[in-house]
Homo-oligomer: A and B are copies of this chain.
Amino acid sequence: MTAPDELVRAVEATLFASEEAMSVEALAAHLGGIETAQVRAALDELTHHYRERGIRLVERGKLWHFETAPEMAHLLRREREHLRRLSRAATEVLAIIAYHEPVSRAEIESIRGVQTARGTLDVLMEAGWVRMAGRREVPGRPVIYATTTEFLEHFGLASRRDLPGIDELRAAGLLDAIDETLEDAMQFDGPEEGDGDDRAEADDDFISGDLPD
C-alpha cells in the first residue's frame, strides 16, 4: 500500500474532525482554496479506500461524511442482557394468573387482597410469561390475562395441570372461583380496573435485585 498523497490525507482528516458533513466546495475553501476537481479526486480515492473497511465515506445530498459501515451498524447499539429476579409482588401476581387464568386485574387484586401496580403486569408481560387474553364480557369489559408457553418453559412445566399442589389447594377449597357479586356485596373489592395505579404498593412491586451471579 502506498501512502496517500497530502491532499487525500488532508480531506480525510478534515472530514474526520468536522462536526458536520461538508460539501466539495466547503472542503476546497477549508483547504486553502484549491480546485474542486482535486477535492473530488481525493474524495473518490477515499471512497474507494474505505469501501471494504469498518467505516465508509458517503455522500448524502452533496455533503460528505464518514459513517459506520452498514454491516457494522449493529455494533452501535448493543443489547446487554441482565438477569433480574422477579419481585415478590410480581411472583404472587404470576402465581395467581397461573392458577386462575384467565383472570382480570380486579380479580387478581381481590385474591391478593391488595392493589396491584400496573408495572407488575408490565414486568410479567415483558418477561414473556403473561399475555393479554381478550376482555371479559362483563360491564367495563376488563382485560383478562393468561400465561404463555414461555411461562411453562421457564418454570419447567408441561402444562398448568403440572403446577405442584394445585389439587391439594383445590381440595382445601382455596381455588374456588371468585364470586364477584358476593365480593361486591361485601365491599371487598379493590378499586375499578385501571385506576389508582399509583396508590397501592408501588414500592413493593418494583423491588427486585440482580441475581448474585
* Copy count, this protein chain: 2
Q: Known: A10-B75, A30-B75, A69-B9. Contact between A54 and B16, CB under 8 A? A: yes
Does A66 lie at the interface of the complex (its beta carbon under 8 Å from any beta carbon of B)?
yes
Q: Does A36 interact with chain B (Cβ within 8 Å)?
A: no
Q: Tell me whether B3 and A55 are in contact (CB under 8 A).
A: no
Q: Does the CB pair B69–A3 fall under 8 Å?
A: no
12 intermolecular pairs with C-beta atoms under 8 Å apart:
A4-B52, A4-B53, A8-B54, A9-B52, A9-B54, A9-B72, A13-B54, A16-B55, A16-B66, A17-B75, A17-B79, A30-B79
Name A residues whose Cβ lies closer than 8 Å to a Cβ of B: 1, 3-4, 8-14, 16-18, 30-32, 49, 52-55, 66, 68-69, 71-72, 75-76, 78-79
